[in-house]
Amino acid sequence: MRHGKAGRRFDMPTSQRLAMFRTITSAVIRDGGVQTTEARAKEAKRLVDKLITLGKTNTVHSRRLAIAAMEDRDVVQHLFDNVAPKYRERPGGYTRVIKLGVRKGDAARIARLELV
């Protein structure tokens, strides 16, 4: 039973799943958005929002936590210098998921995860 366990597993090992989320969150922070499946976008939205909230505090501790989560110092630098200051007054909801339809090959639901 999975009582109290949040999040989807996506039928992949933990290390692969975490690497996938790192890639998606990096793309959203660096490029402003990414196109992926709807389920992946909904799960990555949680992580991106948490990272932007970390970026709003802008302390050494929050930078270290962000580097531990992202493992890409350039993206973390961009997050703290450019992305998070834009949302200084916003209490939450930094991203949105826009549903785009289905993918032709396997009929998977496609969505765009982007910053507001």
Assign 66 a pLDDT band (cuts: 50, 70, 90).
Answer: very high
Angle, CA of 65, 70 and 75, to the nearest 5°: 105
Provide DSSP, 42-97.
HHHHHHHHHHHHHHHH--HHHHHHHHHHH--HHHHHHIIIIIHHHTTT--S--EEE
Q: Is the pLDDT at 2 greater than 90, yes or no?
A: no
- Percent of the chain, pLDDT > 70? 100
**Span 27-55, mean pLDDT?**
96
Q: Is the pLDDT at 39 greater than 90, yes or no?
A: yes
**Span 108-116, mean pLDDT?**
97
Backbone angles phi, psi at 10, to 5 degrees: 60, 25
Strands 109-115 and 33-37, sheet pairing:
antiparallel
**Span 57-78, mean pLDDT?**
95
CB-based contact 87:94 (threshold 8 Å)? yes
Q: Is the pLDDT at 21 greater than 90, yes or no?
A: yes
Q: Is the pLDDT at 107 greater than 90, yes or no?
A: yes
User: Which of the 8 DSSP states describes residue 18?
Assistant: H
Distance CA 58, CA 5 (A): 30
Q: Which two tokens stand for residue 46?
A: 């949680």
Q: What is the pTM of this model?
A: 0.90
Domains of the chain (ranges, CATH numbers): 14-115 (3.90.1030.10)
Which of 17, 20, 53, 15 lies closest to 34, judged by CA?
A: 20
